[in-house]
Amino acid sequence: MFNFPINYFAMVNMSGLGDVVEQLGGVQVKSPLTFTFSQETAHESGKDLYQFTEGSSTFKYAADGETFKIYSKMNGQAALAFSRMRYQDPKGDYGRTERQRLLLQQIISKVKKNPAQVVNLKFINSTTKNIASNLKSEDMLKLGTNYISASKHIVSYTVQGQGETFEGISYQRVTTAQRQAITNKVRSSLNLEAATTGNEFGSNITENNLAQVGSADQLYPENNTDENMQLREE
């Protein structure tokens, strides 16, 4: 879709993120918005209920959904609640990924203080039950050892697509200009020659398929301009 090489992949179950937080002894994260989330119902009410407040790292929790206590540090379950909520966020999935990034940034910050706590086979083996990857444990260990200093220089960007629902499934439609922006950024970072971005659908589709859904360029020409060639830094 973006025409750059991917040598390795890792699919991480969200529970794995909770395991990491537990291994680190908890983290503190300031919430970007105020919301209530039940791990039981995935909505604003129910048991296993969390209440987060905009601008604060403290939060409230009630196992029974009614009797709240105040906490200043997230354990694994609180971190999952913080990073899973979607329905109340005005930004939708983009807001959810923003909170996940905030959580990851705090995890990285804590790892930097004591790298040996996680850069070891015991830790990796205990968390890989929630990870599917073509990386071996030894590869993960090398990455952790050799690239820990890179955690001081992390920059995040967002490719803003257009939300669309087709046959009951939610998609993000990304125009050529929006895809080219991330292609340029990644290929430049990897010291690769400039190249044209990939296909919107990640592969070739039939004319009949295209007629059914249209192309993002045709549907959203306002998102296919020179301005869209610029990535938004988070």
Same domain, 166 and 218: yes
End-to-end CA distance of the chain: 22
Report whether 32 contacts 54 (CB < 8 A): yes
**Does some domain include residue 2?**
no
Residue 70 lies in a domain: yes
pLDDT value for 126: 67
Residue 160 CA to residue 162 CA, distance in Å, equals: 7
Strand pairing category for 69-71 and 131-133: unpaired
Q: Given 153, 175, 201, which residue is the final one in a domain?
A: 153
Q: Which helix (H) or strand (E) holds 102?
A: helix 93-113
Please tell me whether residues 98 and 203 are part of one structural domain.
Answer: no
pLDDT at 203: 86
Q: Are residues 33 and 121 in the same domain?
A: yes
Considering the domain architecture, whether residues 101 and 164 belong to the same structural domain is answered as: no
- 8 Å CB contact between 128 and 6: no
In a domain, 205, yes or no: yes
Number of structural domains (the chain) is 2
Q: Find the helix or strand (DSSP H, E) in which 218 lies.
A: helix 216-219
Q: What range does the domain containing 27 cover?
A: 10-153
DSSP letters, 172-189, are: EE--HHHHHHHHHHHHHH
> Tokens 């070739």, residue?
204
CA-to-CA dists, residue 231 to 47, 158, 228, angstroms: 40, 6, 7
Q: Which amino acid does the sequence have at 131? A: I
Does one domain contain both 135 and 216? Answer: no
**Residue 141: exposure state from Cβ atoms within 10 A (0-12, 13-18, ≥19):** middle
If asked whether residues 173 and 215 sit together in one domain, one would say: yes
Is there a single domain that holds both residue 131 and residue 54? yes
80 and 189 in a single domain? The answer is no
- Decide: pTM greater than 0.75: no
The rounded distance, in Å, linking the Cα atoms of 80 and 74 is 9
* Residue finishing a domain among 153, 178, 201: 153
Among residues 106, 133, 153, the one where a domain terminates is: 153
Looking at the fold, whether 68 and 137 belong to one and the same domain comes out as yes
pLDDT at 218 (0 to 100): 94
Q: Is residue 5 part of a domain?
A: no
Question: How many Å apart are CA 94 and CA 106, to the nearest integer?
Answer: 19
Show pLDDT as tens, one digit a residue, over the chain (234 residues). Answer: 999 999 899 887 877 788 888 888 899 999 999 999 999 999 999 999 999 999 999 999 999 999 999 999 999 999 999 999 988 898 888 889 889 889 988 888 887 777 777 767 777 776 667 778 888 878 877 887 787 777 777 788 878 788 888 888 888 899 999 999 999 999 999 999 999 999 999 888 899 989 989 999 999 999 999 999 888 776
Do residues 148 and 214 share a domain? no
CATH code where residue 99 lies: 3.40.630.190
CB 147 within 8 A of CB 153: no
116 and 198 fall within a common domain: no
Residue 1 lies in a domain: no
Does 129 lie in the same domain as 25?
A: yes
Beta-strand ranges (E) seen in the chain are 10-12, 35-38, 49-52, 59-62, 69-71, 131-133, 157-158, 162-166, 169-173, 232-233
